[in-house]
Amino acid sequence: MEDYNNLITSLLKESTNTVYLYRFGQERYYAVRGLALGVPWLVIFSREGVMETAFPPRDIDDYLQKGGFEELGSVGEVLRR
């Protein structure tokens, strides 16, 4: 569990990773895409900052496109807003 938490933390701290918005009905979720150990991962959390899930999709580009994720910018750019 500690390794999993460290992996998630490293993905969220990397300023060049990409942030996405995902709308599900009235709810808004945010996702961070990045590499962990050379594998693309996606971390999804609620508007309140509660992590919902983190996983390495089989085909991350396809997953993001089919899910209707909207790119917002890099972690660094989003945090500066």
Residue 81 has pLDDT above 80, yes or no: no
Q: Which candidate, 29, 60, 67, 34, places its Cα nearest to that of 45?
A: 29
* Contact (Cβ atoms closer than 8 angstroms) between residue 21 and residue 32: no
- Rounded mean pLDDT of 20-40? 96
**Which residue range forms the structural domain that includes residue 19?**
2-80
- For residue 60, what pLDDT band results from cuts at 50, 70 and 90? very high
Q: What is residue 46's predicted lDDT score, i.e. its pLDDT? A: 96
Total domains in the chain come to 1
Q: What is residue 78's predicted lDDT score, i.e. its pLDDT? A: 93
